[in-house]
Structure 1
Amino acid sequence: MERESFEDEEVAALLNEYFVPIKVDREERPDIDNLYMAYCQALTGQGGWPLTVMLTPEQKPFFAGTYFPKTTRYGRVGVMDMLNQIREKWSGDRDRVLQASNDIVERMMMYANETQHGEFSEDTIHRGYKSFVSSFDEVYGGFGAAPKFPTPHNLMFLSAYYQTYQEPQALEMVKHTLDSMYRGGIYDHIGFGFARYSTDEKWLVPHFEKMLYDNALLAITYLDVYQLTNERQYAQIAESVFTYVLRDMTSPEGAFYCAEDADSEGEEGKFYVFDREEIEEVLGLEEMHKYCNIYDITPEGNFEGMSIPNLIPFTAAEIAEQRDLNVLALQTDLEESRQKLFDYREQRIHPSKDDKVLTSWNGMMIAALARGSKRLQKPKYAQAAVQAAEFIWNQMRREDGRLLARYRDGHAAYPAYLDDYAYLIWGLQELYEATGQTVQLERALVLKDQLIQLFWDSENGGFYFTGTDNEQLLTRTKETYDGAMPSGNSVAAWALARLAAVTQDEELREYAARTVDAFAGTVKQYPPGYSMMLLAGMQLLQGTEEIVLAGKIEDLSYQEMVAETQKAYRPFATLLLNNAGEDGIATRELLPHLSDMSMQGNSATAYICEGFVCHEPLTTVEALREALVKRG
């Protein structure tokens, strides 16, 4: 639509003469997008992007749609005809237009935040699981028909469901989906990272755009399954995502960019596809045959005459086993080929990069890198996360401490939204557990206070998407649906329940519980649409563990206890490090109850607490390891 209409002289002349055209970046102003998308869905029964809305000077919508070609064709109204018709109605029958606008806005505002309260129950969790089972694609993984989105929080819920209820099928669905996504073209086998979604059921042909949030949440999901299965390939895939993000999506200051476009040189996917002649030129004949046979590079191609590298249906390891080849030697050869092809591809014209820094999406990647540091015991990932966190704290807050949503070209703007607060709190919690830096936990608690003060709905529970100090639109909306990304309410409930365990603050836990209950009736109607809220509800029902480790930083036993706890898959546990170092002292000052959890007999000691009640202290690594296995 940008190419066809907004950059067209004829369309521009009509727009500029009779309208005030405003193009909104929905990532910078998700509040505007949320509000008018709800209107479009109410008016037309569907939504999507590009979103086209006509407003009165008072911001009241009176017309909405999605894509309009320049001229009417194939039964779809063209933008020129649409603009002329609206101009005529506005000039000749404005009162009727305004009355219709007022009527629908009143109805929209009446139902804008209509959600069904209730008491969240275990039955909703099980119903959610059964819904995923019924929609699972047993052949290709994922849920439902094409197009298929990764939606990693669905898989995070199923991983936790498996661990909590010992349901093997839950884990099998997760593994099959992750395996299929990795094998398909949605995964970039040359330069790593995942594309936004697959246009087909096989995960073969992606929409080639790469989003930071997908890659952050997918890295977390692959790490979770690595910890559940100890199957090394899941860790390797997560690390490849980090390689991509740290190489291509990280600013010189250490913050993370938003996205890479699908198009280069005006063609979608051109940067990513190959033909056999190119590969022969890069690799030579013998090496080309080996690579192309494994990665499905064929003369006829699998995408518009070209080929998207993929491993459908077999991975290199499976092919090696079938052909009685040395797996390690084959993988070494293929990695050498991949590096040559990567170097060759780097010389192409790259897709454009959306170099905005969004607080919310950075919070997700901070959480992912911190979890990678813990699960894989690789401090370099935590170091990258610390850099991003420092950037946000120093460059994306006002002088009064108010968090801001977007940074670009040296300028931070827009008071942060619910998602920014919720995701950053989550990221800082994970970062504290990875580094032991008390300042990260301290910042999470500062943001928690702002979150409640600015966004909490004291009457009905839950959080508004905008703060009391954001620009006031027609109404304040609440986001609950866990779509491409989990909603701010879901992540806020999840993060606050974890902070409640850390601080032993029952009031904080009540905020989390009231948030879940505020939407419980709505969630019950269609549980799989609220998988992150299901995860938050599970956490509240199961009770969040608090694991406190006391010891001397230089003590090997203490270090081993920290590593064992960081590596374990414990979806509802939090970690506190009560050591003898400066950060340990600072943590005790921040959380005075840790003073009662000191070393026993000068030995490193672990305390596992549930519901503010602590079990008997553990003073050996073996005892801690056994307890972690028992509790999952």
Structure 2
Amino acid sequence: MKGCVFNDMNANENSARLPSQQEMKSSHKRKPNRLISEKSPYLQQHAYNPVDWYPWGEEAFQKAVKENKPIFLSIGYSTCHWCHVMEYESFEDEEVARILNENFVSIKVDREERPDLDNIYMAVCQAMTGSGGWPLNLFLTPEKKPFFAGTYFPKTERFGNPGFIAILQKISSLWQTNKESVIASSEQITKVLQSMAFTTPGEILTKETLKHAYEQLRDTFDTIYGGFGSSPKFPTPHNYTFLLRWWKRSNDPTALEMVEKTLERMGRGGMYDQLGGGFHRYSTDEYWLVPHFEKMLYDQALTAIAYTETYQATGKPYYADIVRGIFMYVLRDMTSPEGGFYSAEDADSEGVEGKFYVWTPDEVIKILGERDGKIFCDYYDVSREGNFEEKNILHVDKPLDAFAKLEGIQTEELQELLRTAREKLFAERQKRIHPHKDDKILTSWNGLMIAALARGAQALHAPEYAQAAVRATDFILNALHRKDGTLLRRYRSGEAAIPGYLDDYAYFVWGLIDLYEATFETKYLKTALELNKQMIENFWDEKGGGLFFGGKRNEQLIAQTKEIYDGATPSGNSVALFNMLRLGRVAGNPGLGKMADQIMKAFGETINQYPSGYTQFMCALDFALGPTKEIVIAGEPDQKDTQQILQEIGKRFLPRKVLLLNSLKDKSLGEIAGFVKEQKPIENKATVYICENYACKAPANEINKIIQLLDEP
């Protein structure tokens, strides 16, 4: 079975032709189904299917009970290639629609709007089939209990995959002739599901846990091309932010080499959009050449953080350039007029995956001219044979200096030629039919992007990134922050809806903490503490410790889940743990530290079994084990000496720091962190107070002494 998580592992073999724009328009002659009233772009994509779709809700469940029909539940998202394929093959098909409409109640769910449903039913699919992905398709009893699951099904049997029509007929027959066994099976599956959220507080996590995680990553590292394993290769940026922390702690050069090899290969490969900036979803091969072309907001945020930290660790401009490219893409193409960030861009345009991004030599030479076009094609490996379905994904496999020497031109001249060429080709590419953009705004993913921009602003000394983060934050606080202090998850077309999940709180608090450190606006720190408190009240498991994914204000489903695995995105528990540790130090609140200890104990046994599966959690553990640097600058933010200190801090990799600015003009920080009240400028100079391991150094206001204190291990 195939799903978008494994989408296009063999792109040439498995890519299915999707309908053209004209074909899609013809389907709109039909009467729309109930999804036409939904805000989700994914649900609206299915609004003209002949399938009698329902959104998740009581109307569908009551119909299933009244008519004694099982539920067909299909979960996906708007930029998922194989979701599009299954729609075109099956959900647009009159025969399939007739079988579904006669025998089932069909429900469509956008996994990005309802990750709670996706978490539960994906766990079922993985348990039943050994794998998962999207589209995620399940059959449930009218009480929402699952009894059959899978991912992509072709309309009829193909490549060993069972045909969807045959599955529908088989399940319909089983429901009518042996319903009791189906219900018994669903009850058993649900009991297993309900048991999965229970945690038994146990093992202690130590420095040995960090070492074990590092060794597991090292043992699966691809020493030739970077990344882990063979193919497909996912970016998983928290693997690299953890490796940087292990390098900082252990001084093991191999850890840094693993990070640099991977991030350089990723940035030079087809995974990175060489013209427009930003990263595609993942690489279908081990070389980072042929990507799955969709672009997700969370990937931009997390990879930007990894490249920013690697720039801080190495000082190499290459990594900073990639960060700028990511932000250029997000601020140009993924930012709403109100300042929030959109969710994703599709892999497909005109029904073909990657068509928007690929080139032929003739196209390049026509735009750039014979000489420049040939140089560009040679540098970016654009050939007559092509590297992707007879066309070319731009990528760099030659060192710039060596290539310039080969061409007989100066490196600076070559850089300028390539820069101008990229601008011309990008302008031409803009005239093409663009991939679909999922323009919903999610609180959680915006939190990640806010954190990334805030960190980039500090490391690159680029206040425009902090300004973009402020705009997004203020939008979330105005549009998705309710009067009772809780968060909503999704905004689209003027409507904010769906009570926030753990990730919405944890990721947004992360963004607020980093935004405070970039702007020193105390209101963001205050809001972070308030939302962290709301999160604990809403999601904390009083019995087993840790945080549930869905809370008291969310719909109560057949089971609760606790996410801890750090996959494509870090788990809410991992991020919440890190937030609590940071906020505890900032506010001098030992209660948050104790709660962080409970989270680590709650998941200790699970994590010690395979710590490299929890690398964001390992980043938090690294902070917890210390030593931390608590840095307070006593001075005014617009003073020249304050700015000089901030530049020195920003360009350094200090993963276990917390940073506060105590301004005499703003007394509000003292209300949160009372210990700063006595930390004042000395001799009217911006003065740095650094405490480490619960011991404070002598205050310093000379830049050389401050640099010495920052660089102490």
TM-score (norm 1): 0.97
Find the counterpart in structure 1 of residue 712 from structure 2.
630
Does residue 1:620 correspond to 2:705, yes or no? no
Distance 1:116 1:265, change over 3 A: farther
Q: Deviations over 1:214-245 (max 9, x none)?
A: 11111111111111111111101100110000
Shift of residue 47 of structure 1? Answer: 1.8
Query: 2:91 aligns to what?
Result: 6
Match of 1:562 in 2: 646
2:482 is matched with which residue?
398
Q: CA deviation at 1:319?
A: 1.9
Task: Decide whether the 8 Å contact of 2:199 with 2:545 is kept in 1.
Answer: no
> What do the CA deviations read for 1:566-603 (whole angstroms, capped 9, x no partner)?
3321101011000123xx32212332221121123433
Distance 1:56 1:499 in 2: 44
Deviates more, 1:278-287 or 1:383-392: 278-287
CA shift, 1:370, in A, is 0.4
Structure 2 distance, partners of 1:404, 1:570, is 33
| Secondary structure class of the residue paired with 1:547 | strand
> Aligned partner of 1:49: which letter?
W
Offset, 1:317: 3.6
Q: How far apart are 1:75 and its partner, in Å?
A: 2.9
Instruction: Please list every run of 5 or more consecutive structure 2 residues that lacks an aligned counterpart in the other structure.
Output: 1-85
CA contact (8 A) 2:201 2:602 kept: yes
Q: Map 1:122-521 onto structure 2 (within 5 A).
A: 122-312=207-397, 314-320=398-404, 325-521=409-605
Partner Cα distance (2:182, 2:502) in 1 = 34
With 441-450 and 543-552 compared, the bigger mean Cα shift is at 543-552
How many angstroms does 1:12 deviate by?
Answer: 1.3
1:434–1:566: 8 Å Cα contact kept in structure 2? no
Equivalent residue for 2:111, pick from 1, 9, 26: 26
Identity %: 50
Question: 3-state SS of the aligned residue for 1:24?
Answer: strand
Instruction: Quote the offset at 1:606 in angstroms.
Output: 0.8
Residues 481, 487 of structure 1: 8 Å contact kept:
yes
User: Which range moved further: 383-392 or 460-469?
Assistant: 460-469
Rounded to whole Å, the distance in 1 between the matches of 2:178 and 2:639 is 81
Q: For the structure 1 residues 627 and 218, does the alpha-carbon distance in structure 2 shift closer, same or farther, using more than 3 Å as the test? A: same
CA distance in 2, matches of 1:115, 1:8: 49
Contact 1:504 1:612 in 2 (8 A): no
Q: Residue 407 of structure 1 aligns to a residue in which SS?
A: strand
Alignment of 1:27-66 (within 5 A): 27-66=112-151
Instruction: Note if contact 1:146-1:199 (Cα within 8 Å) is conserved in structure 2.
Output: yes
Cα distance between partner residues in 2 of 1:449 and 1:263:
42
Q: CA deviation at 1:72?
A: 2.3
CA contact (8 A) 1:250 1:257 kept: yes
Q: Judging changes above 3 Å, is the alpha-carbon distance between structure 1 residues 349 and 476 closer, same or farther for their aligned structure 2 residues? A: same
- Asked if 2 retains the 8 angstrom alpha-carbon contact of 1:597 and 1:607, the reply is yes
State the distance in 1 between where 2:130 and 2:422 align: 46
Contact 2:201 2:544 in 1 (8 A): no
* Distance verdict in 2 for CA 1:546–1:303, change over 3 Å: same
Rounded to whole Å, the distance in 2 between the matches of 1:564 and 1:380 is 19
| Mean Cα deviation higher: 105-114 or 59-68 | 105-114
Deviation of 1:109 after TM superposition, in Å, equals 1.6
Mapped partners of 1:169, 1:270: distance in 2: 39
Worse-superposed segment, 293-302 or 399-408: 399-408
Give the whole-Å Cα distance in 1 for the aligned partners of 2:559 and 2:406: 61
Work out whether residues 581 and 624 of structure 2, in 8 Å CA contact, stay in contact via their aligned partners in 1: yes
Query: What corresponds to 1:600 in structure 2?
Result: 682
Q: Structure 1 stretches (4+) deviating beyond 4 angstroms?
A: 321-324
1:41 is paired with a residue whose SS is helix
Q: Deviations over 1:109-152 (max 9, x none)?
A: 22344567311111110011111111111110111110000100
Deviation at 1:322, TM superposition (A): 5.6
Aligned-residue CA RMSD in angstroms? 1.4
More deviation, 369-378/397-406 = 397-406
Structure 1 unaligned segments of length 5 or more: list them. none
- Counterpart in the other structure of 1:73: 158
Q: Does the CA-based 8 Å contact 1:543-1:610 persist in structure 2? A: yes
The alignment status of 1:533 with 2:617, answered yes or no, reads: yes
Cα deviation, residue 559, structure 1: 2.4
Q: Distance in 2 between matches of 1:488 and 1:603?
A: 41
CA distance in structure 2 between the aligned counterparts of 1:186 and 1:45, rounded to whole angstroms? 28
Alignment partners' CA distance in 2, 1:457 and 1:403: 19
State the Cα distance separating 1:374 from its structure 2 match: 0.4
1:86-97 equivalence runs, <5 A: 86-97=171-182
Deviation, structure 1 residue 610: 2.7
Specify the SS of the correspondent of 1:361.
Answer: helix
Deviation at 1:615, TM superposition (A): 1.9
- Residue of structure 1 equivalent to 2:72: none
Distance 1:504 1:329, change over 3 A: same
Residues 114 and 594 of structure 1: CA distance in aligned 2, closer, same or farther (over 3 Å): closer
> Is the 8 Å Cα contact of residues 442 and 491 (structure 2) preserved in structure 1?
yes
Contact 1:501 1:544 in 2 (8 A): no
Is the partner of 1:519 in helix, strand or coil?
helix
Change (3 A) 1:3 1:559: same
| TM-score, reference length from structure 2 | 0.86
Alpha carbons 1:183, 1:315 under 8 Å: kept: no
Q: Distance in 2 between matches of 1:430 and 1:315?
A: 35
Q: Partner of 2:22 in structure 1?
A: none
Q: CA deviation at 1:332?
A: 0.4
1:601 and 1:568, CA in 2 relative to 1: closer, same or farther beyond 3 A? Answer: same
CA contact (8 A) 2:199 2:602 kept: no
| Matched letter for residue 589 of structure 2 | D
Alpha-carbon spacing, 1:554–1:101, altered in 2? closer, same or farther (3 Å): closer
Cα-to-partner distance string for 1:416-436 (whole Å, 9 max, x where unaligned):
111111111111111011011
Q: CA deviation at 1:321?
A: 5.0
Please report how far the alpha carbon of residue 88 of structure 1 lies from its aligned counterpart in structure 2 after TM superposition. Answer: 1.1
Equivalences, count: 628
Mapped contact 2:196–2:561 kept (Cα < 8 A)? no
Q: Is the 8 A contact 1:116 1:522 kept in 2?
A: no
For residues 456 and 3 of structure 1, the distance between their equivalents in structure 2, rounded to whole angstroms, comes to 42
Distance 2:192 2:393 in 1: 48
Cα deviation, residue 84, structure 1: 1.3
Is 1:577 the counterpart of 2:577? The answer is no
Looking at structure 2, the residues matched to 515 and 403 of structure 1 have their Cα atoms a distance apart, in angstroms, of: 22
CA distance in 1, matches of 2:328, 2:616: 26
Measured in 2, the distance between the counterparts of 1:611 and 1:623 equals: 20
Q: Return the letter of the residue paired with 2:668.
A: A
The Cα offsets for residues 17-57 of structure 1, whole Å up to 9 and x where unpaired, read as: 22111111111100000001111122222222211111111
Q: Which moved more, 1:383-392 or 1:603-612?
A: 603-612
Q: 1:360 to 1:290 in 2, by over 3 A?
A: same
The separation in 1 between residues aligned to 2:349 and 2:198, in whole angstroms, is 41
